[in-house]
Amino acid sequence: MATDSVIAIRIDTKLKKQFEALCDDIGITMSSALIMFIKKSLKENRIPFDLTGKKYSKEFIQALKEALTQMNLNGPFDSVDDLVKQLDKQD
């Protein structure tokens, strides 16, 4: 026989109210939504949405600019990823 467990989390009040309103619009409870998330995660053996880490800190950008100046590298770069590709070509 399955035994229910309780998961307690701390969440910003505004965020909780927004999520409650979304769930209410959909017609489910927050508990149901979170259980669906957990079940889908287990079924797919992953977090069921894309997670990216493409944001760079101000410190990283500043260090990169200084390195470019020291290397006399100029040019229009559409993104930090584009710049990294260009730097890899130089090796």
Q: CATH assignment of 1-51, given 2.40.360, 1.10.1220, 3.40.50, 1.10.1790?
A: 1.10.1220
- Say if residue 67's pLDDT is above 80: no
Quick one: tokens of 13? 């009040």
- Over its C-alpha atoms, the chain yields an Rg (Å, rounded) of 22
CATH code 1.10.1220 region(s) in the chain: 1-51
Q: Are 48 and 40 in contact (CB under 8 A)?
A: yes
Does this model's pTM top 0.75?
Answer: no
Q: Are 68 and 84 in contact (CB under 8 A)?
A: no
The residue assigned the tokens 């949405």 is: 49
Q: Are 24 and 16 in contact (CB under 8 A)?
A: no
Q: Are 55 and 49 in contact (CB under 8 A)?
A: no
What's the mean pLDDT when you consider all of the chain?
82
